[in-house]
């Protein structure tokens, strides 16, 4: 084995302390996300008459996520997760950049949803996410457009939920 291989191999594995810290931080973030979901769902009705209301699903997911996240945090704090041969190595710089960029795309799309509308925002976001996942441009564009059209039609027609149409409103008024 060459010296470069040994160096690359030693840099691509977790240190026990780094692995423990990563688990604690990940679990704490998951607890915070679950708590935020539960707090945000309080603005909606849990039940409407005798049927589940708009808060029903977020509360169920939030409670399950909170319970699992707390269990993960407790086990991480107790040091129950150990690095072994089956542990996946930490992500490299390129993977971290793509993950942060993906988070940025999802966050930006949440803010762009109202002015641009659901179909356009989702088409752009899915195309960019496909490219970040190392997809090709000729696959990213039809994937984004297809996902946007199919999900928009399913949600608006099957579920009867109105989604923002944004700048495409004049084109979609006659179709909906």
Q: What are 4-45's pLDDT values in tens digits? A: 544 444 456 888 898 999 999 999 999 999 999 999 999 888
Judged by average pLDDT, the poorest of 11-15, 56-60, 70-74, 132-136 is 11-15
pLDDT digits (tens, 9 = 90+) for 61-109: 999 999 999 999 999 999 998 888 888 888 899 999 999 999 999 999 9
**Residue 176 confidence (pLDDT) above 80:** no
Q: What is the pTM of this model?
A: 0.66
What's the confidence (pLDDT) of residue 3? 46
Are 97 and 148 a contacting pair, CB within 8 Å?
no
Geometric angle at alpha carbon 163, from 143 and 50, rounded to 5°: 120
The residues near 56 (Cβ < 8 Å, ≥ 6 apart) are 46, 47
Which is nearest to 149 in space by CA: 141, 21, 61, 139? 141
Q: Is the dihedral of CA 112, 115, 121, 124 positive or negative?
A: negative
Q: What is the DSSP code string of 77-93?
A: HTT-----TTSPPPP-H
CA pair distance 74, 19, nearest whole angstrom: 15
Burial label for 34, CB within 10 Å (0-12, 13-18, 19+), is: buried
Mean pLDDT, to the nearest integer, of 123-136? 96
């Amino acid at each position: 084995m060459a010296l470069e291989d040994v160096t690359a191999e030693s840099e691509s594995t977790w240190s026990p302390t780094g692995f423990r810290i990563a688990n604690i931080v990940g679990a704490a973030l998951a607890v915070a996300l679950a708590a935020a979901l539960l707090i945000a769902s309080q603005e909606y009705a849990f039940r409407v008459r005798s049927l589940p209301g708009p808060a029903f699903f977020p509360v169920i997911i939030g409670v399950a996520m909170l319970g699992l996240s707390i269990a993960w945090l407790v086990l991480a704090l107790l040091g129950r997760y150990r690095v072994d041969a089956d542990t996946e190595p930490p992500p490299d710089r390129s993977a971290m950049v793509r993950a942060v960029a993906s988070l940025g795309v999802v966050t930006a799309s949440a803010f762009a949803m109202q002015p641009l509308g659901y179909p356009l925002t989702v088409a752009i976001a899915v195309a960019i996410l496909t490219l970040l996942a190392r997809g090709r441009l000729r696959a990213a564009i039809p994937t984004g457009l297809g996902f946007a059209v199919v999900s928009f039609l399913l949600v608006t027609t099957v579920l009867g939920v109105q989604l923002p149409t944004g700048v495409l409103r004049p084109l979609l008024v006659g179709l909906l």
